[in-house]
Amino acid sequence: MKISVIVTTYNRPDALKRVVDGLYCQTCLPHEIIIADDGSTHETRDMLESYTRRTDLPLFHVWQEDQGFRAARIRNKAILKSKGEYLILLDGDCLPSPHFISDHQALALHGHFFQGKRVIVNQKLADSFTQEDIRSFLNLVKHTFTNGISNSHHILRIPFFPSYTVKKQSGIRSCNMGLFREDAVAVNGFNHDFTGWGREDSEFVIRLTRYGLKRNENPFRAICFHLWHRENPRTDLNRNDYMLAQAAQSANYFCKNGLDTLTKSDLQPEKE
């Protein structure tokens, strides 16, 4: 099964580099990495230049002009670019564990999407936290006791622990989510009406559920490590909450302003 990893980023090349490095040293490599860049300056492009020339694992940089927080649209541009049968959505400040891809692949199930878990890397540790920390269980235990990380029960990897279906709508985070590409296309991807931080991923999942998918979770597999950052401005959250409530009451799973509003020209490099 071909897997495309879509990594959303905005002006944090130091964290993104650690994420990309983590994807290149997986126990099972994906088919491709697509950086979904919501308008970063040239520092991100410059950092990625050496990766885009690699042939062992293709990496593509999909960019759009900075017009504020438009995560829904840039994720859709990355989906349009992707060639994998299965998509893993990851944020550019979430470092993958070494078995991240192999776990997602093992847990992929038709008729379901997978909501992954995360360990929180706290402020005092975020700038220095690397793959070396993730690969050392002793380091992770030490960081747990020094309050460098929280949600630390997820540091245990239990390969035989089964995934399970949940019905709740809370706890949706597209910083670690897996689904079949055909299902994302069937609901028309993310809704471009969601601008500004918040709720675009929850609304996406409401429509996936309406389409008929079930939500699977596993607390001990496919874990990422989320680096601390300052909260994003939430100036549009009330409007987004209203649109989320409207989606919850609707019988529709296909959004009007989504993936099909993009064209092949949207994949042409925009001027940075």
Question: pLDDT per residue over 45-78, tens digit each?
Answer: 999 999 999 989 999 999 999 999 999 999 999 9
Please state the length of the chain.
Answer: 272
Percentage of the chain lying above the pLDDT 90 cut: 87
Q: What is the mean pLDDT of the chain?
A: 94
Question: How far is residue 11 from each of residues 63, 64, 156, 168, 187, measured CA to CA in Å?
Answer: 12, 13, 31, 33, 29
> So what's the pLDDT on residue 272?
55
Q: Provide the 8-state DSSP code for 231.
A: P
- CATH class, domain 3-257, is alpha beta
- For 67, other C-beta atoms within 10 Å of its C-beta total 10
Chain CA centroid to CA 114, Å = 12
pLDDT of residue 264: 63
pLDDT over 70 percentage in the chain = 97
Tell me, what amino acid is at 234? Answer: R
Domain range summary for the chain, segments of one domain joined by + = 3-257
Cβ-proximal residues to 137 (8 Å cutoff; 6+ apart), any chain: 155
User: What pTM was computed for the model?
Assistant: 0.95
Residue range 108-136: mean pLDDT, rounded: 96
Q: Show the CA angle centred on residue 112, arms to residues 260 and 90, nearest 5°.
A: 65
Q: Is the pLDDT of residue 271 over 60?
A: no
What digits encode the pLDDT tens for the residues 194-217? 999 889 999 999 999 999 999 999
Retrieve residue 168's tokens: 């709740």
CB 73 within 8 A of CB 10: no
